[in-house]
Chains A and B, each alone.
Chain A
Amino acid sequence: MKIIVTLDVMLAKRKMKLNELSQKVGISVTNLSLLKTGKAKGIRFSTLLSICEVLDCEPGDIIAIQKE
Chain B
Amino acid sequence: MNTKILQLAIPFFRVIQVIMLVFMTGFIGVLIYSVIDTEAFSNVHLQNTFRARFSVGDFKICPDCESPGSYTLSQLSTYMKLWLLLRGIALMLLALISLQVILRITKSIRDKATFYNRNIKGFLQLFRLGIAIAVLSSFNFFIQGAERNFEFSIPFGALAYTLGCRLLAEIFIEGKMLAEDSNSIV
Q: Which residue of B lies closest to A32 (CB)?
A: B186
The answer to the question of B37 belonging to the interface, with a C-beta cut-off of 8 Å to chain A, is: no
A42 vs B183: C-alpha distance when bound (angstroms):
10
In Å, the complex CA distance between A42 and B180 comes to 12
Q: How far is the CB of A10 from chain B (nearest CB, A)?
A: 15
Nearest chain-B residue to A39 (Cβ)?
B184
Residue in A39, A40, A41, A43 whose Cβ sees the most chain B Cβ within 10 Å: A41
CB distance from A24 to the nearest CB of B (A): 15
CB distance from B26 to the nearest CB of A (A): 56
Who on chain B is nearest to A31 by CB?
B186
Please name the residue on chain B nearest to A5 by beta carbon.
Answer: B186
Given the complex, which residues of A lie within 8 Å of B181, measured CB to CB? Answer: 41
Residues of B within 8 Å of A42, CB to CB, are: 184-186
A34 in the interface (beta carbon within 8 A) = yes
The answer for the CA separation of A34 and B180 in the assembled complex, in Å, is 14
A67 to B80, CA, bound (A): 76
B166-186 CB mask vs A (1 if < 8 Å, else 0) is 000000000000000100111
Q: Do A44 and B185 have beta carbons less than 8 Å apart?
A: yes
Query: Could you tell me the distance between the alpha carbons of A26 and B114 in the complex, rounded to whole angstroms?
Result: 27
- Provide the bound-state CA to CA distance between A4 and B171, in Å: 32
Give chain B residues whose Cβ lies under 8 Å from the Cβ of A43.
185-186
Residues in B with CB closer than 8 Å to A44 are 185-186
CA of A38 to CA of B184, assembled, Å? 11
Q: Chain A: which residue is nearest B181 at the CB level?
A: A41
A35 to B181, alpha carbons, bound, how many Å?
14
Contacts of B185 in A (CB 8 A): 40-44
Residue of B181, B184, B186 with most chain A CB atoms under a 10 A cut-off: B186
CA distance A35 to B184 in the complex (A): 9
In the bound complex, CA of A31 to CA of B182 (Å): 13
6 contacts between A and B (CB under 8 A): A32-B186, A34-B186, A40-B184, A43-B186, A44-B185, A47-B186
Q: A32-B186, A44-B186 are in contact. List 12 more A-B contacts (CB 8 A).
A: A31-B186, A34-B184, A34-B186, A35-B186, A39-B184, A40-B184, A40-B186, A41-B184, A41-B185, A42-B184, A42-B185, A47-B186
Closest 4 CB pairs of A and B: A42-B185, A41-B184, A40-B186, A31-B186
